[in-house]
């Protein structure tokens, strides 16, 4: 898709009027698939389980991993928890920074911050890891709030992460009257919608076209995204 696709929701009239913007991380800011899928391969090997195909591994990128191990890996609750512990150990040791920034996205974040619009990260990646990644790439400075999954995974569903991000923004007296979410998977769309927040989907991530259902726009480039976000 080469042009911005808008849903008939008056988004063109709201563009540039957002009072705060929430961003997903994996597949939206960073192409983190190499580090995540590579670590997943190592995890399955260590556990003595069959390694999923490359296409199957990509489905793990985005949703909470504890849920993915159960839904995609067919694991029990206990097995999924054990797999998550192995994954985190290996990911923090080597896969965390095996990623790259999507072209133009850092510049968009900088322009949003310069325009004075509060930014919040809202990712199902553990918050400590997300913060390290943003700091590694010099992006943490642009965010008013950095919110991710809790280490115990009690807060990992995107709706719960968004709720916590909004709570922290509210504590900072941020205007929450017109928020918007930017993400690449249906989990972003549904998690934001649970709080009445519209989502702009980016095509450069890991979501399929079908996952764009319910979004207010789909964009194929960073400049298109900036047009919908900035005054």
Token code pair at residue 184: 């690449």
Among the options 3, 24, 42, 160, which is catalytic?
Answer: 24
24 is catalytic: yes
CB within 8 Å of 209: residues ≥ 6 apart = none
Cα separations (Å) of 172 from 113, 118, 127, 144, 182? 16, 10, 19, 9, 21
- Strand arrangement of the beta sheet that strand 217-219 belongs to: 5-6, 217-219, 199-202, 179-183, 20-23, 119-126, 145-149
Q: Which of 168, 192, 167, 169 is nearest to 181 (CA)?
A: 192
The residues that are catalytic are 24
């Amino acid at each position: 898709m080469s042009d911005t696709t808008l849903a008939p929701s008056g988004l063109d009239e709201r563009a540039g009027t957002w009072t705060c913007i929430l961003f997903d991380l994996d597949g939206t800011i960073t192409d983190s698939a190499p580090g995540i899928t590579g670590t997943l391969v190592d995890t399955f090997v260590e556990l003595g389980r069959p390694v999923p195909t490359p296409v199957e591994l990509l489905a793990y990128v985005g949703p909470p991993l504890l849920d993915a191990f159960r839904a995609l890996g067919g694991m029990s609750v206990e097995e999924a928890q054990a797999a998550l512990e192995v994954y985190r150990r290996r990911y923090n040791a080597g896969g965390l920074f095996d990623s790259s920034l999507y072209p133009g996205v850092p510049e968009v974040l900088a322009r949003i911050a310069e325009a004075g619009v509060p930014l919040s990260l809202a990712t199902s990646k553990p918050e400590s890891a997300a913060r390290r990644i943003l700091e590694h790439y010099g992006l943490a400075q642009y965010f008013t709030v950095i919110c991710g999954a809790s280490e115990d995974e009690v807060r990992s569903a995107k709706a719960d992460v968004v709720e916590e991000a909004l709570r922290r923004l509210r504590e900072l007296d941020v205007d929450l009257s017109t928020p918007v979410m930017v993400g690449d998977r249906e989990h972003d769309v549904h998690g934001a919608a649970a709080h009445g927040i519209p989502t702009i989907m980016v095509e450069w991530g890991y979501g399929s076209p079908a996952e764009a259902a319910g979004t207010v726009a789909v964009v194929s480039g960073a400049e298109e995204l900036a047009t919908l976000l900035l005054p």
